[in-house]
Amino acid sequence: MRKMKKTKWIILALLSLSLVLAACAPSLPPTPSEAEIAQQVASTQQAKATQNSVETLVALVTELSNQPTWTPQPACPVCPTQVVVVPTAATTPNPNEATAQPTTAPTAEAGKKCFQFDFLGDVNYPPGTIVKPGTKFSKTWTVKNTGTCTWSRDYDVVFVGGEAFGSNKRGDITREVVPGDIIEITIDNMTAPQTEGTYYSYWMIAAPDGARVGYGPNQQWGLGIELVVSKN
C-alpha cells in the first residue's frame, strides 16, 4: 500500500514537471500558407525594383548636374550690317528737251565677218566614192556666202592639203557672190591615182589679198574629197 502511494506521487511529480517545462518552452511560429509565401516574394521583388528605380534616378540627376551650362548663341557669329537701298525719285521727262538718238541703227549683220562661208553639201563624189585607177573627174561643192562682203571673180578655190589629184590646185569663182547667195564651185581636170587606196584632198576659198578661209566654228575646215581607188 505504501509502495503504490509512492508511485502515485512520482507520477504526479513527473506530470507537474512536464507542464512546467511546456510552459517555459518557446512557442514555434505557425507554418505560413502558400498565399502568404507568394505575397512575401512579391513584396520583396517590388521593394527591390523600387530600390533600383531610385538608384537610376539618382544617377541621372548626378549626370545632369555635371553637364555644362548652355548659353544661347546668336543666329550668326558676325552678322553683316544691313544695307538699306533707298530708291531714287523718278524724274519726269521734260517734253521741251530733245531726246538723243543713236547715230547708227543696229543691223542684222552685227557680229558677222566680211569673209566667211558655210558648206551646204557635195554635189557629186560624196565621201567614200569608189573609182577605178586613173579615172578623170571634177569635184563640185555647194557653199553659201555668210559674210558681209561680196565675192568677185577674183576669188578662188585653192588646194591646201592632201592629194591634189593632178589638178592645177586652183578653181575659179565663176560669178559675183553677194552676201547670203549660194553658189556651186568646181575643181576640174582631176585624175584618180593609179595605186589603190583611200585618198583625201582639202580646199579653201581665197580672197584677192591671199586670205584663205574654210567653214566651221573657227573657219578651219576645208572643203574635202574622200576617194577610194580600187580595181574591183
Cα distances (angstroms) measured from residue 217 to each of 9, 18, 109, 119, 144: 149, 135, 17, 12, 15
Q: pLDDT value at position 89?
A: 42
Q: Would you say residue 16 lies in a domain?
A: no
Instruction: Compute the average pLDDT of residues 32-50.
Output: 69
Residue 129 lies in a domain: yes
In this prediction, residue 24 has a pLDDT band, given cuts at 50, 70 and 90, of low
Has residue 219 been placed in a domain? Answer: yes
Q: Which is more confidently placed, 171 or 55?
A: 171
207 within a domain of the structure (yes/no): yes
Domain annotation covers residue 47: no
- Tell me how far apart the alpha carbons of residues 168 and 157 are, in angstroms, rounded to a whole number: 11
- CATH code, domain carrying 218: 2.60.40.10
Q: Is 17 within the bounds of a domain? A: no
pLDDT digits (tens, 9 = 90+) for 126-139: 999 999 999 999 99
Residue 31: predicted pLDDT:
60
Q: How many domains does the chain have?
A: 1
Does the pLDDT at position 201 exceed 50?
Answer: yes
Mean model confidence pLDDT for the chain? 76
Report the pLDDT value the prediction gives residue 79, as an integer from 0 to 100.
39
pLDDT class for 102, splitting at 50, 70, 90? very low
pLDDT of residue 108: 40
Q: Do the domain assignments include residue 90?
A: no
Instruction: Please report whether residue 14 resides in a domain.
Output: no
pLDDT score, position 200: 98
**CA separation for the pair 166, 157 (Å, rounded):** 15
The per-residue pLDDT for range 155-187, each reduced to its tens digit, is: 999 999 999 999 999 999 999 999 999 999 999
pLDDT of residue 70: 43
What number is the average pLDDT over the span 103-124?
72
Q: What is the mean pLDDT of residues 115-133?
A: 97
Domain that holds residue 175: 117-229
- At residue 86, the pLDDT reads 39
CA distances from 40 to 5, 33, 46, 49, 112 (A): 57, 11, 10, 14, 106
Q: How confident is the model at residue 81 (pLDDT cuts 50, 70, 90)?
A: very low
CA–CA distance from 169 to each of 122, 141, 159, 204 (Å)? 19, 15, 5, 11
pLDDT classification of 120: cutoffs 50, 70, 90: very high
